[in-house]
Amino acid sequence: MANPPDIVTGELEAETIERVRGGDATSTVEDERRRLADVWAAGTEEPSWVRRATSEGAQEMLVEEEGGELSSQRGTAVGDDYVLEDDTSGEETQILNMGPQHPSTHGVLRLQLELEGEKIRRVKPVIGYLHTGMEKTGEALNYLQGPTNVTRMDYLSPFFNELCFSLAVERLLDVEIPPRASAIRVLMTELNRMASHLLWLATQGLDIGALSIMIYGWRERELLLDFFEKTTGLRMNHNYIRPGGVAADLPDGWQDDVAAILDQIPKGIADYEEILNENPIFIDRTQGVGVITPEECYALGVSGPVLRAAGVPWDLRKAMPYCGIDQYEFDVPTRTHGDVYDRYLVRMDEMRESLRIVQQVADAMPAGDYRTEDRKVTPPPRARLDQSMEALIHHFKLFTEGPKVPAGETYQAVESPRGELGMYLVSDGGAKPWRLHVRGPSFAAVQALPVMMADSLVADIVATLASVDPVLGDVDR
């Protein structure tokens, strides 16, 4: 700590002033002198500027006495389990900013780390760098345009965003979805779950130095993206699942593509497990790292593979089934330790379970229409427009105005690859949502990072961060 400035003579070291001011040109030296005099006159042992070294205004990491990030979790099962060791003191901590440009932060997440040597004392996630006001945009788009907006939120699992939005709208509309549409939805979302987990595996490997895994993960994912492109026209942001059904039927020869996927992906998974499961470096980097307990998951709203790796068999596909997914046989894989390694194992097993579901869907794909016949949401077929004036009017109204949805509010959640993806939809009876709130699984996961990272080493940060699989488009929306 710097020596107290000499208040009597008014002499301040220029260096001290510079550090305290943080290069802000608006406050004068006189102001600083007065403020510092106050600080020292108050007799505080630790002037507030000692740890306030990030010049971040309201986003400053607060000193602990004022209610730092972790102390907010007092009074519950969630706690700051850091124990101050005798040979260290608060004066030896430093704040390190990781991100938002750091390559391992999966986008533009920023973590303020308070370090004591190599140890993390506190973590404060700072988000918002990718905020594009998609909830506000959602209020300006009608219910047919809505999926184009929400599909861009969690860009690694776009089908789930579209599905969640469509289910919420359909609940308000009270329309029946044909079995083929539901089966196609299950097929596409489960394939998407695999694609997302494969990309997670690639980046998890990349982040802890296993470069070959990165290449492998992307190789298998390409198979799935090719199929998505063939079906929807796009590799990402498909706008394929829409209120009332899906945008188009599966392409000719889809059985062969799915068969190829069902043939290739298990081989890939076996390869990865052979590389990673017994790999001493991988085990060292992941076992016992980033631990979170079920109680902490509940309190912080963490769901998905992170919760299941902590030992809770909670999966919305089982607990609150949608799209008739309960008619397919699959298990909910769980582990017990709640660390990075267990999350890896859970995701690998989930890919196998998704393959099981895809196999069942492909074997028993119902015939019929791929979207509802309800003219409230589905336009009449093209041929009808030449014959019927009503059909023409319906068609015109649907595409200019959008379908009108009865007033009401509902919350719909689906099990996305990252956990519970929920949408809270309020309709005023018009053709656009009055309010569209998206509860992203990554938002809750980022909030839980301080609990997982507290008391770990700096090197474990990237392993822990990658293991919760945050998508910043989902966090910031």
Partner 1 sequence: MSDDATRPADEVAAEEVVEHAAATQEGAADEAAAEQELVADPADAPEVSDEAPEPEDDLEPAPASGLPDAGLLPDDPVMAAIVGSVPGARYESSFGQDVIHVDREQLPAAAAAAAEQGFLMFSDLCGVDYLRRRPRFEVVVNLTSLQHRRRLRIRAGVPGGDPTAPSITGVYPGANFYEREAYDMFGIVFEGHPDLTRILMPDDWEGHPLRKDFPVGAVPVQFKSSPQVR
Segment 117 to 136, residues that bind partner 1, using CB under 8 A: 127-128, 131, 133, 135-136
Cα(47)–Cα(287) distance, rounded to whole angstroms?
39
Site track 223-262 with partner 1 (rule: CB under 8 A), x = hit: ----------------------------------------
Please list every residue from 170 through 189 that binds partner 1, using CB under 8 A.
171-172
Q: Which is nearer to partner 1, 108 or 191 (CB)?
A: 108
Find the shortest distance in angstroms from Cβ 420 to partner 1.
6
Q: If binding means CB under 8 A, how many residues of this protein chain bind partner 1? A: 74
Q: Give the residue with the Cβ less far from partner 1, 23 or 43.
A: 23
Cβ proximity of 217 and 201 under 8 Å? yes
41 near partner 1, rule: CB under 8 A: no
Does 319 help bind partner 1 (rule: CB under 8 A)? yes
DSSP 8-state secondary structure symbol assigned to residue 42: T
Least distance from partner 1 to the Cβ atom of residue 367, Å: 30
C-alpha–C-alpha distance, residues 262 and 260, integer Å:
5
Report 294-313 residues binding partner 1 (CB under 8 A): 297-303, 312
By CB under 8 A, residue 350 contacts partner 1 = no
Indicate the residue among 309 and 362 with the shorter CB distance to partner 1. 309
C-alpha–C-alpha distance, residues 156 and 474, integer Å: 9
Contact between 23 and partner 1 per CB under 8 A = yes
- Nearest distance in Å: CB 174, partner 1: 8
Looking at residue 473, its amino acid is G
Contacts of 65 (CB under 8 A, 6+ apart): none
Site of tokens 């509902």: 410
Question: In the range 53-92, which residues lie near partner 1 by CB under 8 A?
Answer: 55-60, 62, 66-67, 69, 71-73, 75-76, 78
For residue 265, the minimal CB distance to partner 1 (Å) is 31
Q: Is 293 helix (H, G, I), strand (E, B) or coil?
A: coil
Nearest to 88 by CA among 108, 117, 112: 117
Is residue 29 involved in binding partner 1 (CB under 8 A)?
A: no
Pairing of strands 93-98, 241-242: unpaired
Identify whether the C-beta of residue 191 lies closer than 8 Å to the C-beta of residue 359: no
| 476 three-state secondary structure | helix
Answer whether 462's CB lies under 8 Å from 99's CB: no
Cβ–Cβ under 8 Å, residues 371 and 348: no
In the complex, what is the shortest distance from the CB of residue 148 to partner 1, in angstroms, rounded to a whole number?
A: 18
Q: Is 366 in the site for partner 1 (CB under 8 A)?
A: no
Q: Does 33 bind partner 1 (CB under 8 A)?
A: no
